[in-house]
């Protein structure tokens, strides 16, 4: 049997009332919670976000702009040694009394034609043998070795595209500078001792002729030619200048031992005989001095006489 009267069950009613109150409060919390949660979310969204320091991305330092690459220029190549020789002009003037005649001034002279023939034959021989260095000498002094060397070199220099080097190796009595009317500043001693570079001693006349002049006599000429250095200088000139022929004007064979000392550095010898004083005995003795191992390229007859006129026979 159930009682519904509050007076009959006070304790129960009081507990029920308390339960009802509690239920009301729970309902209020239930009804109000969604609204409070929404307000909290809105407030949280409006609050500035707190980011941990290590999470903040620091702006990367701007790398410096690369420096413009420096323009590298290659060193300028030097011209070949032949073109680096000092250039000058030949001192060719009309011959005067007592001066050596130069065939370049008289192209129609028989002597000029004879030197042209000699030039052609000599170049053909050198090419066939593979030779480059020729010593020009005479049995005795005064036969015309310097005259022959100078005019032969001038004749060779007229060949287009050729290269001829003329060296005054007659250090007893150098005469090429006077023959060409050109000043010689130094003697050959400095060159043959490597005290002076051939680039400073030699000079070029045009595109086809280079000259090595001597300013005066050298007392130890024979000793210089005996030394190995003299041959090495000639090797250097041949290797770097690349001439077609090197002509060396030398002292008389029977007067000095210069050619005998230097003969190992040349390929052959051109002997100049004087038609007025050279004998066959002189030529034979020259062959003995030079030895059988030294090729005698030829004998040039200078001052030959025929029909009262001077001629030059190769």
pLDDT exceeds 70 at position 272: yes
> What rounded mean pLDDT belongs to the chain?
81
pLDDT in the model for residue 60: 60
pLDDT per position as a tens digit, 64-112: 666 666 666 666 678 899 999 999 888 666 555 555 667 776 677 778 8
Highest mean pLDDT pick, 168-182, 234-248, 300-314: 234-248
Calculate the dihedral angle through the C-alpha atoms of 295, 297, 298, 303, rounding to the nearest 10 degrees. Answer: -110
CA distance 151 to 103: 6
Contact 139, 283 (CB under 8 A): yes
Cα 242 to chain center, whole Å? 13
pLDDT confidence of 309, banded at 50, 70, 90? very low
CA distance 228 to 31: 123
pLDDT exceeds 90 at position 135: yes
pLDDT exceeds 50 at position 307: no
pLDDT (average), residues 112-126: 93
Task: Give the residue extent of every domain in the chain.
Answer: 118-302
pLDDT in the model for residue 293: 83
Backbone angles phi, psi at 270, to 5 degrees: -105, 120
DSSP 41: H
Task: Please give the share of the chain, as a percent, with pLDDT higher than 90.
Answer: 56
In Å, what is the CA distance from 118 to each residue of 3, 170, 265, 298, 300?
Answer: 166, 22, 23, 10, 9
What's domain 118-302's architecture?
3-Layer(aba) Sandwich (3.40)
Give the up-direction half-sphere exposure of residue 180: CA atoms within 13 A in the CB hemisphere.
27
CA distance 155 to 119: 7
pLDDT in the model for residue 312: 41
Per the confidence metrics, is the pTM higher than 0.75?
Answer: no
pLDDT in the model for residue 308: 41
Backbone angles phi, psi at 249, to 5 degrees: -80, 120
pLDDT exceeds 60 at position 6: no
pLDDT (average), residues 180-188: 88
């Amino acid at each position: 049997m159930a009682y519904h009267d509050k007076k009959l069950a006070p304790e129960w009613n009081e507990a029920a009332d308390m339960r009802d109150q509690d239920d009301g409060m729970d309902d209020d919390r239930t009804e109000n919670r969604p609204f409070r949660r929404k307000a909290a979310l809105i407030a949280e969204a409006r609050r500035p976000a707190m980011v941990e320091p290590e999470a903040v991305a620091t702006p990367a330092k701007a790398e410096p702009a690369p420096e413009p690459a420096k323009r590298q220029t290659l060193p300028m190549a030097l011209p070949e040694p032949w073109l680096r020789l000092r250039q000058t002009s030949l001192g060719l003037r009309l011959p005067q009394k007592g001066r050596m005649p130069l065939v370049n001034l008289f192209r129609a002279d028989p002597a000029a034609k004879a030197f042209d023939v000699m030039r052609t034959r000599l170049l053909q021989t050198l090419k066939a043998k593979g030779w480059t260095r020729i010593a020009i000498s005479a049995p005795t002094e005064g036969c015309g070795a310097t005259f022959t060397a100078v005019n032969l070199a001038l004749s060779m220099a007229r060949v287009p595209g050729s290269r001829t080097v003329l060296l005054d190796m007659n250090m007893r009595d150098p005469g090429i500078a006077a023959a060409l009317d050109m000043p010689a500043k130094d003697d050959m001693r400095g060159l043959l001792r490597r005290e002076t570079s051939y680039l400073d001693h030699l000079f070029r006349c045009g595109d086809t002729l280079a000259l090595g002049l001597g300013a005066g006599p050298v007392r130890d000429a024979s000793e210089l030619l005996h030394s190995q250095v003299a041959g090495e200088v000639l090797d250097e000139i041949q290797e770097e200048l690349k001439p077609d022929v090197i002509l060396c004007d030398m002292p008389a064979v029977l007067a000095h031992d210069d050619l005998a000392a230097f003969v190992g550095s040349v390929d052959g010898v051109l002997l100049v005989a004087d038609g007025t004083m050279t004998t066959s005995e002189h030529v034979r003795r020259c062959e003995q001095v030079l030895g059988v191992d030294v090729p005698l390229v030829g004998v040039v007859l200078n001052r030959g006489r025929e029909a009262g006129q001077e001629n030059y026979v190769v």
